């Protein structure tokens, strides 16, 4: 079965990638293919020091989480199989172990490929006077930008593993950067939950052993590689850390996991002899990378790289008590101060440390970059962020037009583009109503909600106004998983408004696409939203967003103006259920009383540029700015 038909959350699929995967496989077949070496490290043998175990216990966040984590008690890693690497940074394997592919890759990354700017400069047309300036193409347009190599390091990436927008960004941005003359490698954990079809495409690139923190042990680090569309994906393999079904389990497990991952990612770059100009890390899971870079790895080859840390969601920071983070990270005492990792009296905050050590900080919209410097949105890091505001900037996310295209989308019932969207969206609506057991009526106003069901997403507001929204002419379709209370409430509404309310409590990528194509409007009333991608997907599919004016929602959705007819969607400002209801009612009024004007907005939204084009250039320029050598 094509995974696109499958509701299995782990069945990720690709549209445009399908053909390319085959190509990639052909390419990699020429490389020496070893069986994926998932080395089972021997059974647990060494225990963490007693005080660290006590610290882990003391800081256990919630009983349920701890219970789940207990069997995988992190202080009991496997005994090393190979002699322990004495150096902190990974030792390279003996030269004989190098595969030919590895040598080629090392050559490819040589900085000699950069186009010397001075050499090209004389060819640029001279700008004689100011009136000519506008007609003359800019130097940037004429002179090819120098090539830069970038290692993306993060915890998820579509189509391998995705729980939210981070996975989309880790997929889309490297591909656009590759087209902008960047040499991009994406480093990810090789989770056991990555679908087999991708596991099968990975090629063994090598392995080494690495010490970790104060565990006194040496850990296996395997590197499995997959190349696609000019982007190299390197998966860090270690069964002990990455064998759970979901990337995120509980902090007790995740702290050691991402200490290991961050260190192993840098060690792998040294091992591969691929030294990037920029290391671009994402969220708290990779936030120790800039700290490692300036401490344990400073005097290793990768130490020359500059670092960028992107905040996708400030709510998650990786906080635990200092002894535990010291134990797993092995970072020197000097980083556990108030200017870097330390928070409060006894905790360490991995994201805070990364923000202190990164050469640049970005977040995923301009408004969120401002908001996080305030106490309302700063998640207790507002002072730290204000202190580092000189190196902070907001670059809004885009969406991948290959993955999100109603004209070619393999998941939707009926394809369409701007030329036939109005009629074809109605057909998609009927198909979705059929699929979900809703009353089949193209005249109903269908509101979609596709979201992680968490406190961030404004679901309290939605729940408060469902009865008022259900006026007999409105249908609501919810797709999401998350907190039990929200799941249960939506299930309740499905029962209460049978045939008019559908609660799909699941993660289903294909169904998400069908909802974007079929719905008239999409709700995104978030409490906070660093960027938000669902409103971008929706607009691109001609579905009008109803959003709260916060973060990236504010930056990407211009409110509809009844007087001028301008705008892309319906917005409200304060976090207030009444204001959300008002925005929904404004949308309904336009839909039911002035359909032609509604349809104009549909077409305008489909034409709106929500691609990565412009934002990827901003990242590329940031990399260039950081590497002016």
Residues that bind ligand GLC (CB under 6 A): 164-166, 169, 312-313, 364, 397, 529-533, 552
User: Between residues 228 and 533, which has the closer beta carbon with respect to ligand ADP?
Assistant: 533
**479: contact with ligand ADP by CB under 6 A:** yes
| Shortest CB 533 distance to ligand ADP, Å | 4
CB under 5 to 8 A by kind: which of ligand ADP, ligand GLC, none does 481 bind?
A: ligand ADP
Q: Provide, rounded to whole angstroms, the least separation between the CB of residue 377 and ligand GLC.
A: 12
The two three-digit tokens of residue 508, written as one number? 């289903």
Stretch that binds ligand ADP, among 184-192, 237-245, 333-341, 504-512 (CB under 6 A): 504-512
Closest CA to 320 of 349, 342, 345: 349
**Strand-pair category, 218-228 with 521-524:** unpaired
Q: Which does 509 bind (CB under 5 to 8 A by kind): ligand ADP, ligand GLC, none?
A: ligand ADP
Is residue 224 helix, strand or coil? strand
Cβ 486 to ligand ADP shortest distance, Å: 12
Q: Is 161 in the site for ligand ADP (CB under 6 A)?
A: no
Which range, of 86-94, 112-120, 416-424, 507-515, touches ligand ADP by CB under 6 A?
Answer: 507-515
Residue nearest to ligand ADP (CB): 165
Quick one: what does residue 450 bind among ligand ADP, ligand GLC, none, with the CB cut-off 5 to 8 Å set by partner type? ligand ADP
Tell me the H-state helices in 5-113: 17-29, 50-58, 63-69, 100-108
Question: What minimum distance in Å lies between the beta carbon of 457 and ligand GLC?
Answer: 9
- Could you give the C-alpha distances from 121 to 32, 140, 148, 179, 621, in angstroms and in order? 43, 10, 19, 22, 18
| Residue 507 engages ligand ADP in binding (rule: CB under 6 A) | yes
- Torsion of Cα atoms, 540 then 544 then 548 then 549, to 10°: 60
Ramachandran region, residue 344 (left: φ > 0; alpha: ψ -120 to 50; beta: rest): left
Quickly list H helices, 214-295. Answer: 239-242, 251-272, 288-293
Choose between 354 and 532: whose C-beta lies nearer to ligand GLC: 532
Q: Which of 14, 69, 148, 168 binds ligand ADP (CB under 6 A)?
A: 168
Q: Which does 364 bind (CB under 5 to 8 A by kind): ligand GLC, ligand ADP, none?
A: ligand GLC
Strands 182-189 and 148-153: parallel
CB of 56 vs ligand GLC, minimal distance in Å: 27
Dist. CA 29–CA 15, nearest whole Å: 23
Q: Which residues contact 33 (CB under 8 A, 6 or more apart)?
A: 203, 204
d(CA 285, CA 463): 32
Q: Give SS3 for 394.
A: strand
Question: What is the SS3 string spanning 577-622?
Answer: HHHHHHHHHHHHHHHHHCHHHHHHHHHHHHHCCCECHHHHHHHHHH
Residues 450/480, Cβ–Cβ less than 8 Å: yes
Site for ligand ADP in 416-455 (CB under 6 A): 450-452
Minimum separation from the CB atom of position 526 to ligand GLC (A): 8
Query: Per this entry, what is the length of the chain?
Result: 629
Judged by beta carbon distances under 5 to 8 A according to partner kind, the member of ligand GLC, ligand ADP, none in contact with residue 250 is: none
Q: Which is nearer to ligand GLC, 552 or 559 (CB)?
A: 552
Name the one residue in this structure whose structure tokens are 């990786």: 318
Q: Whole-number minimum distance, CB 493 to ligand ADP, in Å?
A: 17
Beta-bridge partners for 308: 280, 360
Distance from the first to the final alpha carbon of the chain: 52
Closer Cβ to ligand GLC, 74 or 394, answer by number: 394
- Considering CB distances under 5 to 8 angstroms, the limit depending on partner class, which of ligand ADP, ligand GLC, none binds residue 290? none
Give min distance, CB of 244 to ligand GLC, in A. Answer: 20
- Integer Cα distance of 377 and 530 in angstroms: 10
d(CA 262, CA 189) in angstroms, rounded, equals 10
Tell me the closest approach of the beta carbon of residue 162 to ligand GLC, in angstroms: 11
Residue 215 vs 313, nearer CB to ligand GLC: 313
Judged by beta carbon distances under 5 to 8 A according to partner kind, the member of ligand ADP, ligand GLC, none in contact with residue 480 is: ligand ADP
User: Position of tokens 């293919």?
Assistant: 33
Q: Which does 363 bind (CB under 5 to 8 A by kind): ligand GLC, ligand ADP, none?
A: none
When binding is defined by CB under 6 A, the residue of 234, 509, 520, 555 that contacts ligand ADP is 509
The residue ranges that bind ligand ADP (CB under 6 A) are 164-166, 168, 450-452, 479-481, 507-509, 512, 531-534, 537
């Amino acid at each position: 079965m094509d995974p696109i038909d499958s509701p299995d959350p782990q069945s990720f699929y690709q549209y445009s990638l399908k053909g390319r995967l085959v190509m990639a496989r052909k390419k990699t077949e020429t490389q020496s293919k070893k069986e994926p070496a998932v080395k089972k490290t021997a059974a647990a043998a060494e225990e963490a020091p007693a005080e660290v175990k006590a610290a882990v216990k003391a800081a256990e966040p919630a009983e349920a989480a701890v219970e789940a984590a207990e069997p995988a008690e992190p202080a009991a890693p496997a005994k090393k199989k190979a002699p322990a690497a004495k150096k902190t940074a990974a030792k390279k394997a003996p030269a004989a172990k190098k595969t030919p592919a590895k040598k080629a890759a090392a050559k490819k990354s040589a900085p000699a490929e950069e186009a010397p700017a001075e050499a090209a400069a004389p060819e640029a047309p001279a700008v004689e006077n100011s009136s000519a300036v506008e007609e003359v193409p800019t130097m940037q347009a004429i002179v090819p930008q120098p090539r830069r190599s970038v290692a993306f390091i993060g915890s998820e990436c579509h189509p391998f593993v995705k729980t939210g927008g981070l996975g989309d960004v880790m997929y889309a941005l490297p591909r656009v950067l590759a087209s902008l003359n960047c040499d991009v490698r994406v480093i990810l954990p090789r989770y056991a939950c990555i679908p087999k079809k991708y596991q099968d495409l990975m090629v063994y690139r090598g392995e080494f052993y690495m010490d970790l923190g104060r565990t006194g042990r040496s850990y296996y680090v395997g590197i499995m590689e997959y190349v696609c569309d000019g982007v190299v994906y390197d998966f860090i393999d270690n069964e002990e850390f990455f064998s759970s079904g979901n990337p995120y389990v509980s902090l007790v497990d995740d702290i050691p996991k991402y200490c290991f991952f961050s260190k192993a990612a840098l060690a792998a770059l040294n091992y591969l002899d691929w030294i990037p100009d920029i290391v671009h890390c994402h969220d708290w899971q990779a936030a120790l990378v800039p700290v490692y870079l300036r401490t344990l790895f400073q005097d290793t080859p990768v130490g020359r790289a500059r670092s960028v840390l992107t905040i996708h969601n400030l709510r998650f920071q990786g906080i635990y008590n200092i002894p535990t983070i010291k134990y797993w990270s092995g970072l020197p005492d000097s980083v556990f101060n108030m200017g870097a990792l330390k928070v409060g009296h006894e905790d360490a905050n991995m994201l805070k440390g990364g923000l202190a050590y990164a050469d640049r900080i970005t977040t995923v919209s301009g408004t969120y970059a401002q908001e996080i410097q305030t106490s309302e949105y700063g998640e207790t890091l507002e002072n730290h962020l204000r202190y580092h505001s000189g190196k902070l900037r907001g670059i809004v996310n885009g969406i991948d037009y290959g993955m999100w295209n109603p004209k070619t989308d393999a998941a939707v019932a009926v394809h369409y583009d701007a030329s036939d969207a109005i009629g074809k969206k109605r057909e998609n609506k009927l198909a979705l109503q059929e699929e979900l057991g809703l009353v089949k009526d193209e005249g109903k106003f269908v509101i979609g909600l596709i979201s992680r069901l968490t406190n961030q997403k404004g679901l309290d507001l939605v729940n408060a106004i469902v009865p008022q929204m259900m006026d007999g002419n409105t249908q609501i379709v919810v797709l999401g998983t998350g907190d039990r209370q929200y799941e249960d409430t939506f299930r309740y509404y499905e029962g209460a408004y049978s045939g008019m309310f559908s609660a799909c409590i699941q993660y289903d990528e294909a169904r998400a696409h069908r909802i974007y194509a079929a719905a008239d409007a999409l709700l995104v009333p978030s409490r906070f939203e660093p960027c938000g991608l669902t409103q971008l997907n929706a607009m691109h599919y001609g579905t009008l967003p109803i959003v709260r004016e916060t973060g990236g929602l504010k930056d990407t959705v211009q409110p509809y103006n009844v007087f001028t007819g301008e705008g892309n969607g319906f917005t409200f400002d304060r976090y207030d259920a009444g204001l959300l209801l008002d925005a929904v009612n404004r949308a309904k009024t336009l839909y039911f009383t002035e359909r032609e004007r509604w349809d104009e907005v549909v077409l305008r939204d489909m034409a709106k540029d929500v691609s990565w084009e412009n934002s990827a250039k901003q990242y590329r320029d940031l990399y260039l700015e950081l590497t002016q050598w």
